[in-house]
Each structure stands twice: as structure tokens, then as C-alpha cells.
Chains A and B, each alone.
Chain A
């Protein structure tokens, strides 16, 4: 998967708890993205990064925050998880704002 990993791959948590998902790349690509995938909605962009410490909001950013302190790592944090954040989360990387390479995904269940 183009040198991109996500951790954890599966997580079950309770409403109100904080959750952090990690995306790690070995490609040194500038751009990194977090998406969520839900039935009937396809993939929706949560946040993206265009460089170290440079991030911006996507289409569905409410309830999520991100950080990128190193080129290779992009963290997605749910400060206080809600059931509506149950989803499959995908990280993607891109060298050129064109082709994106996706990670294997993280399945998150919020009870």
C-alpha cells in the first residue's frame, strides 16, 4: 500500500472517550489526508495537511482535530467520541495533489 500504514486497524471505544488514529508514511510525500467512509456517503474529507504543521479543514471536520509534527506522521484525534463517528477511516498521501495513495483503513466503533 505505497508505504502507508494506519494504526490501530480496529478499535472499539465508548462515547465520550478520546481517540487518536495514526497515519504513517515512508514515501516523504508532502500531502496527507484523512477521510471517513460511510454507506451512502462515499469518502468524505475530514482534514488534510500540505506540510509539517500546515493543516486545513475538509468537508466534515466538526468533532475532529489533526496534527502533523513530522513529515511522516499525521494524527487524527476525536476529542470526545460520539456514535456518529463510528466509521471506517482512511488516510491517504500524495506527492502532487493529484494521485492519492490510500492506507488500509481503521474500523472504529463507538458504543
Chain B
């Protein structure tokens, strides 16, 4: 399988703290994306980083990509209770297919 893996599987933090989750993948990629899934809902796209980029920001989100290590990290700063969700990375290496990781479950305690 070309599926990525997120680490940790579960993360619990206090509101206001930063949350960091990591994604490792197995093959060369064109881009890597992060998605959020609230309980019982579909996934929502957060951010895309291309293989020739090393860091990208969007609001309170910061994503890094290290293609030499085949890994990415997602940092959520100043977390809020509303950030409680599962977070998935997805890689695109063929242009038509996406491979999702198993997800990190984030709980932000008010």
C-alpha cells in the first residue's frame, strides 16, 4: 500500500496550546494535502503543499514538507475547542489517485 501514516494516532491538548501532527509516506509525490474530518462528517480540505515547497502557511496552520525524509508535519497554533477533529494527510503521486493516511484524532480541551 502507498498509504501514508499519521503520528500520533491520538493527541489531547489544552485550548491555546499548539498541536503538531506528522505524516510519513512511501513514494515520490507531486503534492501533499491535509484534510480535517469532524465526527460524522465528510473531509474538508485544509492546505496543499507541492513537492518543490518546504513550508506553507494558512491562518493558524503551518505545514512543512521534507521530501528527503518523505514526511510532512501540520502545526495548528493557538488551538481552539472547534479544532477537535481527525486530521488526515493525502498524497498524490500519479495525478489521478490519492492515498490517505490513517489519521490523527485531535482533542482540544476547553
Contact = CB atoms under 8 A, between A and B. Distances in A.
B51 interface: no
A90 to B, nearest CB: 6
A33 B42 contact: no
Nearest to B44: A102
Contacts of B92: 97-98
A98 B48 contact: yes
Contacts of A84: none
B33 A45 contact: no
Interface of B: 1-3, 31, 33, 35, 40-45, 48, 88, 90, 92, 95-103
Contacts of B41: 104-105
Contact of B96 (A1, A56, A92): A56
Nearest to A103: B42
Contacts of B31: 98
B42 A44 contact: no
B90 to A, nearest CB: 8
Interface centre among A40, A44, A102 (most CB of B within 10 A): A102
Interface of A: 1, 31, 33, 35, 40-45, 48, 50, 56, 58-59, 90, 92, 97-105
B103 A102 contact: no
Contact of B102 (A1, A41, A90, A97): A41
B42 A1 contact: yes
A95 B92 CA distance: 15
Contact of B101 (A42, A101, A104): A42
A44 B43 contact: no
A102 B38 CA distance: 12
A42 B45 contact: no
A47 B106 CA distance: 29
Interface centre among A50, A59, A101 (most CB of B within 10 A): A59
A98 B92 CA distance: 8
A45 B101 CA distance: 12
15 contacts: A33-B98, A35-B100, A42-B100, A44-B100, A45-B98, A59-B2, A90-B42, A97-B92, A99-B45, A99-B48, A100-B33, A101-B45, A103-B42, A104-B41, A105-B42
